[in-house]
Chain A
Amino acid sequence: MANVAVMATTNNNHPTTTSRWNMSSLRSSLPPIPPTSASSLRFTRPSPTTLRISRVKSQSLLPSFTGLRPLPIFAPPSEFSGFDHGFTVIDNGGRVYAMRHGRKVPKLNRPPDQRKALIRGLTTQLLKYGRIKTTRARASAIRKYVDKMITLAKDGSLHKRRQALGFIYEKQIVHALFAEVQERYGERNGGYTRIIRTLPRRGDNAPMAYIELV
């Protein structure tokens, strides 16, 4: 028996609009977009798991878990996030906990670069095919990024378009998305995806789910 439940949905009765994504005519009608320059989406970095030992010249004799002595070089501002900087983000004053309390970024069993690539690939495929079947953890991890892409498309300005081009792997999909999102999601505020849980995968019993654009 298929086990189904909904994770994110908004209940509405909008009539089914026939959305036409004629990609070739779209591509020809749009002005050529120059290659993307410094467009990157910012991701909050997960908290560091490495230990920082305080300096020996400090007052306490034991190295302490809770903290760096505040050296000017090692104290980045708290809103400092991004992949293109060499500093790690220390939101909690360098404290390292043994538990995961409050950490919401899904790691997906991958290092950060592969994780970003996986999420980018999955959102590209979802926007391309409309419905994909993947594991539940991945489906709930990409919800946020699919919604972000659709929000960028709803804004529609050139800057947002370049930001979307920096995230999605295929540019035809970005152009098609920007063209048709207004008629499709114009009235809807958020919640552009739906997850339907389904039977586990045979090879490794991984819980699977369909994720689809609403």
Chain B
Amino acid sequence: MMAASVDPLVVGRVIGDVVDMFIPSVGMSVYFGPKHVTNGCDIKPSMAINPPKVTLTGNMDNLYTLVMTDPDAPSPSEPSMRELIHWIVVDIPGGTNPKRGKEILPYIGPKPPVGIHRYILVLFEQKGPIGMVEQPTSRVSFNTRYFASQMNLGLPVATVYFNSQKEPQAKRR
């Protein structure tokens, strides 16, 4: 009954809840302002109202798709709205950032009402340009695996996740 794996994505059940086991091939670094996002770190919602700075490695010929989703909506003990999709950007050229891609679904920041939510940024490699795709009809009950199979994206190439919880209104003394 001991540690299954030390990989933080497996430990945090990101692999399993949102994506399947994959081999990371592209480096992705995400910054919310000055804070660098590592797996499982804490980000306050007030720091994440604007989209993060994401830098990718990889060569310019490949196009990538970035998806940000929350599998713990509305509460981790009762995720009836799993997953809540926050951001979809397609056609990002390798080695650049999502501003060069096409934003299918505009970014909304984390707003966890109850409990501590995981927010997962998944990067897929596209086989070809996708262009404009219609937005998903609603942000709830999103399924990353289904989306990837619909867009013919295969397994992810990079994933990072962070935790966030509702901030208390008044500053704690």
Binding site for B on A (CB under 8 A): 1-2, 4-11, 13, 16, 18-21, 127-133, 191, 194, 196, 198-199, 210, 212-213
Contacts and interface: CB of A to CB of B under 8 A. Distances in A.
Interface in B30-45: 38-42
Interface of B: 1-6, 8, 11-13, 16-17, 38-42, 72, 75-80, 82, 114-116, 163, 165
Given A2-B40, A2-B41, A4-B12, A130 B78 contact: yes
Say whether chain B's binding surface is mostly helix, strand, loop, or mixed: loop
A87 B76 CA distance: 43
27 contacts: A2-B8, A4-B6, A4-B12, A4-B39, A4-B40, A5-B6, A6-B2, A6-B5, A11-B4, A16-B17, A16-B79, A19-B80, A20-B78, A20-B80, A128-B77, A129-B77, A130-B77, A132-B116, A194-B11, A194-B13, A196-B12, A198-B42, A199-B41, A210-B40, A210-B116, A213-B76, A213-B77
Contact of A4 (B11, B17, B75): B11
B11 A5 contact: yes
A129 B76 contact: yes
**Across the A-B interface, the 10 shortest Cβ-Cβ residue pairs:** A130-B77, A130-B76, A129-B115, A131-B76, A2-B40, A6-B3, A4-B8, A131-B116, A21-B78, A4-B11
B40 A127 contact: no
